[in-house]
Structure 1
Amino acid sequence: MNSRTATSFPAPCVPWYQALGSRFATLWVAKMIGTTVGISGFFVIYFWVMHNPPSEPTVMPLMLLDHWVGVSDEAMLLYGSLWFYISLPPAFAKDWAGLRACARDAAFIAGVGLAVFWFFPTTVPAFAVDWAQYPSLMFLKNADAGGNAFPSLHVAFAVFTAVLLERQLREVRAPSWVRVLNVLWAMGIVYSTLATRQHVLLDVLGGTLLAAVVSRAGTTRARLAWNEA
């Protein structure tokens, strides 16, 4: 058996930021088009499912943490940053194989989430909040009514992205502060789903579990591919 493991990488010939830049430039047209089409297509299906539930949505119950996390207009920035954040792993894919794996796993997360939304429609409670006091959140509420609650795909994609980026940053030997920043960004997005009242704790846990299962499977495939190389 090959003695190499998925966590032992050859020493890079260039600094980590140059290695990431080289990855970014690889297949950049395909990455740009694929990411744009993928996100756009997801939104079309997501909003169609949300506005056409086959049955009355179930209101998700509140847990203790939901009462502890305060409403924050500033959290909207973190919430919206997801759509830039999730574009980073495909942008830093080093080859077609990595790009296909990223797209496959992201599509699987989306597919499972959308299927659950369709067969088990859910929504967040009607919070006693004067949204006029939170201009950014009022805009969000007008665009996204809070349906398709469980599991939170916002959380699922954030956690999935954090795992992929961690793997890519380790491969280029990025410094610890960059890897910590990646984790903090993902955690900030998870927090924002509660602070914007777009999701409740159970939604967050469901999204985290979905991402964990898919990420685990992806890590296992990557380890097997590395050992067979």
Structure 2
Amino acid sequence: MPLPTERAWNRQLLSRFVTLWYLKAFGTMAFMVLFFQAYFWVLHHPMAEPLMMPTLAVDDWVPFLPEAFYAYVSLWVYVSLAPALLPNLRELLRYGLWVGALCVFCLALFWLAPTQTPVTHIDWSQHPQLAFLKGIDASGNACPSLHVGSAVFSAFWFQRIFRQTGAPAALRWLSVLHCAVIVWSTMAIRQHVFLDVLAGAAVGAGFAWLSLRRWLSPSRA
């Protein structure tokens, strides 16, 4: 039988999940539709010829693994869960405004200074799911990796959510692990190179700090 404290964090997370669930579901869906429209417009209308991103030794250390595709697409579940666990409209709007700012910032960079990942000698026809991804994304909008940026941004918010609800440390570490796997997957399927990942992590962490700085201050610890 679970202890009272264990039941408490379970109840808090469930309560948060069902609070404004209709607004969270519709808002997340609408946000993603608008984002992808903007993303693909920028992808096909860059201001200049895309710059090929250089590779480093670390890029060779990460082996190509087609199965990492599943970790890559799990981002959409990961980033959808963070707003779903917010307790009220005020925090939901705060989260939405900051993640929107992150996306606008990256899209502006993609438009003004377009980049693309290096061409590989992989036969994508042998990997239909990756071939589809490469076909629609064309490995453009590379740096910073918005995939990594949004994962890191969400990871910071998950830490705050789990600490607020008193969730066990294992849950916080599981979130960190999931984020790390998503970051790794972007290189494992050759969608990004290390410099894209590094820049994306910096952008995600920067916007997360800006959005959470009130709660990260010692006076609110």
The TM-score with structure 1 as length reference comes to: 0.90
Post-superposition CA distance 1:33-77 (Å, at most 9, x none): 110010110000001100111211000000111111111111000
SS at match of 1:197: coil
The list of structure 1 runs, each at least 4 consecutive aligned residues, that deviate by more than 4 angstroms after superposition, is: 11-14
Say whether residues 1:44 and 2:37 are aligned partners: yes
Match of 2:199 in 1: 206
Question: Counterpart of 2:141 in structure 1: which amino acid?
Answer: N
Aligned pair count reads 216
Shift of 1:223: 4.7
Distance 1:61 1:173 in 2: 43
Q: Normalized per residue, which structure has more helix?
A: 2
1:222 maps onto 2:215 in alignment: yes
Are 1:139 and 2:146 an aligned pair?
no
The alpha carbon displacement at 1:200 in A equals 0.6
Alpha-carbon deviation of 1:12?
A: 7.0
**Structure 1 residues 223 and 96, CA gap change in structure 2 (3 angstroms):** farther
- Corresponding position: 1:24 with 2:17: yes
Determine the C-alpha separation between the residues in 1 that align with 2:108 and 2:23: 28
For the aligned residue pairs, the C-alpha RMSD in angstroms reads 1.7
CA distance in structure 2 between the partners assigned to 1:122 and 1:146 by the alignment: 9
Question: Deviation of residue 172 (structure 1)?
Answer: 0.9
* 1:71-86 matched pairs, under 5 angstroms: 71-86=64-79
8 Å Cα contact 1:73/1:135 also seen in 2: no
- Following superposition, the deviation at residue 129 of structure 1 comes to 1.0
List alignment gaps of at least 5 residues for structure 1.
Answer: 1-10
Q: Identify if the C-alpha distance between structure 1 residues 59 and 175 changes in structure 2 by more than 3 Å, giving closer, same or farther.
A: same
Q: In structure 2, how many angstroms separate the alpha carbons of the residues matched to 1:213 and 1:202?
A: 16
